[in-house]
Structure 1
Amino acid sequence: MSDLLGRDFFDRPVEEVAPALLGQVLAHRTEEGEVALRLTEVEAYAGALDPASHSYRGRTPRNAVMWGPPGHVYVYFTYGMHFCMNLVCGPEGKASAVLLRAGEVTDGRDLAVARRPRSSPRDLARGPARLCQALGIAREHNGLDACAPGSPVRVLTGEPVDPARICTGPRVGVSAAKDVPWRFWIDGEPSVSAYRLHVPRRRRATGRGSALDGSGESR
């Protein structure tokens, strides 16, 4: 059985933790069964130093988990329909986190397919919303301790990734600090999502005001 990643793994600068998560195994156990995937794409967000981070302007009820301790799960809702999952990094109080963008399902494939019945094998967990759907991650998992042995959400050691295969580039779907190269992925992995520049969403005119609430960005 793979070892559980400890708190010290996450208690480092976010730009170090993010590439180190590639190849590690993320597992979620539910009453339906367990789904596990090998992480192939992530993004780093550095709190008060990073205009693209949810915590850039300070602590709120929504982002409170980001402030630590490290190793906890931060789940947020976006576009009024999708959940995205992050892993909080240290040191505590700095509010940094790694967004989990994509992975290759390695265990529990039948359950993942049942949750995403129209998906191709490549697309089961290709993109942060699909990753959450395949794993069964939702709002109630916000704040879970992924370093606790009894936690339903755990991060386990995977096979090492050749450093030559780790690529880096701009983050996806953000308008602020969009050129910061803190998206990391494993070169050649089919599950890695397509890169898209941020395109501002236009407000749709209605008789009752704006149809958007300003939270449309992916991060």
Structure 2
Amino acid sequence: MFEPVPESFFEAPTLELSRDLLGQLVVHETEQGIVAGRIVETEAYMGVEDRAAHSFGGRRTRRTEIMYGRPGLVYTYQMHTHTLLNVVAGPVDTPRAILIRAVEPVEGTEIMAERRGHMPIKQWTSGPGKLTKAMGITMKYYGHHFTECPLIIAKGEPVWEVEAGPRVGIQNTGEAVHYPYRFFEKGNPFVSKYR
């Protein structure tokens, strides 16, 4: 039913891929059933030259190692109590990644409701830590590839009205604070709140 995007999809230049991911679907086959969300917000991190990227300056640690791998790999990391989901982007040895910041629930809403139903539906998946909780995505997917079940990016519909702006929560990164590397669907209620 859900068909993964081809591996070649991930070979686009990072900023282009960040836009192209909008409208595609994150699909997770869980023990409870399938949960899927349409990507409505992303943030690109441009690697070695980007002060906001974990791999800035060529940093290579156990955490960032996967960013040096092939495009389309899953880069998960923990921030406080949240797991954040990223797509490795850029050629091998070019450590770039795209954070999936928000999705719009499209399938498995009753499963998401069990995990997030104590709050309004608009808040279930409107942020990078929220969507992984709602979809049951954990650190175990670090190094997995988005073309392989049980966690894939599947073909969706293109987004026609895309807006760009600065990324969220990256203070103390010099000029990188202002780079317009956050892409989102205009007017979508599931886009995270920009403070």
Which TM-score tier does this pair reach, normalised by the shorter chain? over 0.9
Show the counterpart of 1:206: none
Show the counterpart of 1:153: 151
The amino acid across from 1:96 in the alignment is: R
Show the counterpart of 2:61: 60
4+ long deviations beyond 6 Å = none
Q: Which has the higher helix share?
A: 2
Are residue 171 (structure 1) and residue 181 (structure 2) matched?
A: no
Unaligned segments of structure 1, at least 5 residues? 197-219
Could you tell me whether the CA contact under 8 Å between 1:12 and 1:91 is conserved in 2? no
The amino acid across from 1:186 in the alignment is: E
Distance 1:159 1:82 in 2: 28
Root-mean-square deviation (CA, aligned residues, Å) is: 1.1
Show the counterpart of 2:84: 84
The amino acid across from 2:151 in the alignment is: V
CA shift, 1:14, in A, is 1.1
Could you tell me whether the CA contact under 8 Å between 1:73 and 1:146 is conserved in 2? yes
Aligned length: 191
Show the counterpart of 1:180: 179
The amino acid across from 2:98 in the alignment is: V
CA shift, 1:183, in A, is 0.2
Percent identical among aligned pairs is 39
Unaligned segments of structure 2, at least 5 residues? none
CA shift, 1:22, in A, is 0.4
The amino acid across from 1:161 in the alignment is: V
TM-score when scaled to structure 1?
Answer: 0.84
Matched position secondary structure for 1:190: coil
Distance 1:2 1:77 in 2: 28
Are residue 104 (structure 1) and residue 100 (structure 2) matched?
A: no
Distance 1:136 1:152 in 2: 11
